[in-house]
Homo-oligomer: A and B are copies of this chain.
Amino acid sequence: MILPEKTIERLSKYRRVLINLNFQQKDYIYSHELANLIHITPEQVRRDMMLIGHSGTLRRGYEVKQLIEKINSIIDGNTVQYVTLVGVGNLGRAMLNYLKNKNKYLQIIACFDNDQDKINKMCCGIPCYSINEAEEQIKKLNINIAILTVPTNVANEVADILIKAGIKGLLNFTTMPLKVPSNVYLEEYDMITSLEKVAYFTQFIE
């Protein structure tokens, strides 16, 4: 069964909060405590747990380690997926530093750029290749997820190259909305839109 997107988002947050707050030192957690940590309702937590077939006890709640492992098995499927980041400018480098080593099942093992000063060197500890080698390297390294941080005006073109190379999951941080074939999973996030949204709604606050 493929779980809904919103459920996956919450599972990712449950796991991070449990790990972040060192809740591992606590053996059990109640649904209302977990709900409180990510500011949702206990009912929502219980619905999610039912959906993933995870049960707690009325007296002590959910066993924390077991819950983390359950979420691991769902999100990561206990198999490593290889990831690349494409476009190692300011934003790209920051994302590389921020996202690498955050999840042992998601390994960023290569990045791509068209800048001769970066190609065939290490960028933030990750080998950087020429975008012209993308197809060859992506196939060779068995990479199936790409993070896109190239300039807006080449976003479409680069996405096409990546998809041709076999990328199946794309996280697009450029401000250019992409169109991808139905056998590619696309997640887009536009930081400028978010900031403009905050600005708009802030105007109405007294």
**Residues of chain A having any CB pair with chain B under 8 Å:** 2-3, 5, 8-9, 12-13, 16-17, 20, 37-39, 74-77, 79, 81, 83, 90-91, 93-95, 97-99, 102-103, 105-106, 144-145, 147, 152-153, 168-171, 175-179, 183-185, 187, 189-206
A189 engages B192 (CB within 8 Å):
no
B-chain residues with CB within 8 Å of residue A153 when the two chains form the complex? 20
Tell me if A99 and B12 are in contact (CB < 8 A): no
Count of identical protomers in the assembly? 2
- Scoring A17, A197, A199 by chain B CB atoms within 10 A of each residue's CB, the highest score goes to A199
State the CA gap A106–B193 with chains docked (Å): 12
Q: Which 6 A-B pairs have the closest CB atoms?
A: A94-B94, A169-B202, A169-B198, A185-B201, A12-B193, A168-B205
Whole-angstrom distance between the Cβ of A76 and the nearest chain B Cβ:
7
Contact B196 A81 (CB under 8 A): no
A81-B199, A198-B169 known; A103+B192 contact, CB < 8 A: yes
- Give which listed residue, B75, B103, B176, B187, contacts A194 with CB less than 8 A: B187
A24 CB to nearest B CB, Å: 15
Partner of A198, one of B145, B176, B204: B145
CB of A204 to closest CB in B, whole Å: 6
Closest to A198 in B: B169
Complex contacts, A106 vs chain B, CB 8 Å: 195-196, 199
Pick the contact of A9 from B17, B193, B202 — CB < 8 Å? B193
